[in-house]
Each structure stands twice: as structure tokens, then as C-alpha cells.
Amino acid sequence: MEKLQVKINNVTATVSEAAVEALAPAAAASIEKLVKGTGAGNDFLGWVNLPTRTTSTLIDDINATARRMRETCDVVIAIGIGGSYLGAKAVIEALSDSFAAYKKTEGPQILFAGQNIGEDYLYELQEYLRDKRFGIIVISKSGTTTEPAIAFRLLKAQLEEQLGREEASARIVAITDAHRGALRSLATTEGYKTYVIDDNVGGRFSVLSPVGLLPIAVAGFDIKALVAGAASMEEATLNGSDNAAALYAQTRNALYQAGKKIEILVNYNPKLHYFGEWWKQLYGESEGKDHKGIFPAAVDNSTDLHSMGQWIQDGERTIFETVISVANQAHEVIIPSDTDNLDGLNYIAGKRVDEVNKMAELGTVIAHVDGGVPNIHITLPALREDYLGQLIYFFEVACGISGYILDVNPFNQPGVEAYKRNMFALLAKPGYEKETEAIKARL
């Protein structure tokens, strides 16, 4: 299996190789904290060895459940928010036919709910499911997180109405806490098939657990290869001497110390759009603490070169880019020649579309670097399960290293609770009476 590659030669106009290398001891100390569990947030380090401790028995069980859902369902709804949906969505989108929704394909359509509180979204989803054979994967440690709890209440009631309670229970899989919580209690009562979210695996690091593996398997993709790719990156980053994740973490922190406060994750393949969304949550929720941290943003090029490209090229110089380049495409499309050549494209006739895309990528990198935007470059061999497993683990372990270099706890998210307290108070949730009165006084 090839490995993804990281190059930092396009940052040296802003930070020297010596400045990056100066952070190597901090990166090594961070890796030691991850391996030995001696750093802040060490009660959430279950993801660190998750790829290598995932058993073939668990993978086989998940695949068996996925086969049953594929056989009995036209649509499967994965209900979850944040890390409970973004990782699976990212992998499924990266591996799927871009137009699968418009084709009669084998296996169920995978849709998502509980990631928002959009009334129209939920209404339209329920209408769409009226005449469909559907199943539910509900993902929540507690079962009480507002967004997925609303979606599950609605869709569970609809499924029970369409099938009856007993048959509906056979179409629901719960991924939740091993012993406690509302969803665990309900799953036990109703007899749902269940998988466990380990207490020491936080949501944004959970894609390589059943949280991500089951929806990905239901979509028809090879989760064994996904986990194997991640395991190879685990071995390389935690035990290897050539540590690409440490290099990435050191480089982005050196840039941050040099005044580059915003990182833009760039792709040149539209299938990676949701990978950027997953990455934004991973880094934003892990590093944005104590009034510090690199702000994560993402663009889809060449599309966004015709919008955000202007700001990136000529705007405030507080940014750097990390480009994900996919070396090999799954398909080949050749640009034809045209006798009239009214569009002036005959100069690229006979070339693959991907060659043109790669030259757009290279030309953009040169332009942005010349314009004062440092670029880190990550090359992924192809969009394939094993390589995506590598990329996921690469970013996860680099996030842990980077957070410790930044001197924050990368594994908590105290700021996420602020909006929840206000929302509960505004909705007069029992137990929030004092907060309700305090907010009323402000309005």
C-alpha cells in the first residue's frame, strides 16, 4: 500500500525549515502524551489505537448488519450530529458515484438526519419516506442530544406507523453507550441491534468506530480496507521515524506563530467536499480554546477559484493553505478535438480532464505562494478505502499533536455547551428555570 505524502517546500518563504524543525521536540513530546496517556484529555484517547484494536469479529458483525439493511431497506437514515455524521458522510461522498441519487443502483440510498433542526428538511424527508422501505441507524451516546433526538422521535414514530412496532424495531440499529443513557435504555427495551461508542472515543474521533463504519458498510464500501489503511498510518505515525503527521502539525504551528491564523483546506476533487466539512469540525472543536487556535476553513477548487479565490489571492495575509491532491482518478475522460474550435480548446484536445485539473491546481499553488500564501501539500494516491483510512488517521493524530503543541486540551469542547444552555433556557426545559429567568431579563 502506498502512503500519502506531505510536502512543505511552499511554506519556506514565510517560515524556515529550521523554524519547523524547532517544533520537533514538542511534536515528539505530544506523541508520547498520546501513546502514554499523560496529556490533557487523556480520558478520550481511545481513538489512538482504535484501528489496530478493531477486531475482524467486529468488522464481520458490522458487515452482517449492513447486509441485512441492504437487503431490507431502499433507504437508510443515519441520525447523528457532528462527528456522529460527518465522518461517515465524508467517506461515503468520497467513494460514491456523484450521480448515484439519480440512478437505479444496487443497495440502499444513505440519507442523514439529526444534523440540523430544519423543519422543512425534516418534513420533506418524512414525505420522501412515505412509500419507501427504510431503516434507521441512530447514533448518540446519551440519546438526549436535541438535534438527533428530535429526528429519531419523528422517524421512529413514522417507521412504527408504517410497519408496526415489532418490525420497526428490526429495522433500527442504535450506536450508543455500553451501559447508560436514554438511547441505551430504549434499545434494550425495544430489542434494537446495538453497537457501542466507547466512553474514551469522542465524537469527532469516532469515524473509525461503528459510528462511521456501519453507515459506510451499508453504503456498500469496504470497511476492512478502510481500517487497514488507518492501521498502517497508526503504525507509521506512532512508531515510525518518518512521521508525516508530526511534520504537518509542526508546520501549521510554525505558521500560526508567524501570524497565519487561518488554515484553508483545499481540494481539487468535488468528492472531497464533505471531507473538508469533517476536517473543519475535527480541528475547530479540538483547537479553538483559551482564545487561541487556527481557524479552519475549506474550499472546493476550481469552483471556489471563481469566488473565494480573489480573497485568497489578494486579501489579508493571515492565511495558509493545505492542499489535498488526488494523484490517480478512477476514470479517464479525454477532451475531444473540434473542427470549428469556437471555444479555443483545441490546444488541450487529446488531454485527460485530470491533466487540465492538475495544471489548474499547480498554477493556483504558484499564484498563491507568489501572493504570500504558504502552501502545505498532501498527495493522496487515489480515492480508495485504504487511502481514505490513512488520511482520516493522519489528520486525527496530527490534530492531537498540534493541540498539545498549542497547549490546549484537544479532546474537550466546553464552548459547545454555551449555546445548549441558552437554547434549553429559552425553551423552558425543566431544570433550567434560573437560566430562563436570566435570559428573559436580557430580552
What is the set of active-site residues? 285, 306, 420
Name all contacts of 209-212 with Cβ < 8 Å and 24+ positions apart.
209/47, 209/50, 209/54, 210/58, 210/62, 210/175, 211/80, 211/83, 211/84, 211/87, 211/88, 211/139, 211/175, 212/87, 212/88, 212/91
CA dist 56 and 132 (Å) reads 33
d(CA 124, CA 77): 13
Answer whether 216's CB lies under 8 Å from 92's CB.
yes
Dist CA 200 CA 327 (whole Å): 35
Cβ atoms of 174 and 187 within 8 Å: the answer is yes
Three cell numbers, residue 288: 479553538
Based on the number of CB atoms within 10 Å of its own CB, is 96 exposed (0-12), middle (13-18) or buried (19 or more)? middle
Strand partners, 173: 137, 193
Residues 6 or more apart in contact with residue 21 via CB below 8 angstroms? 250
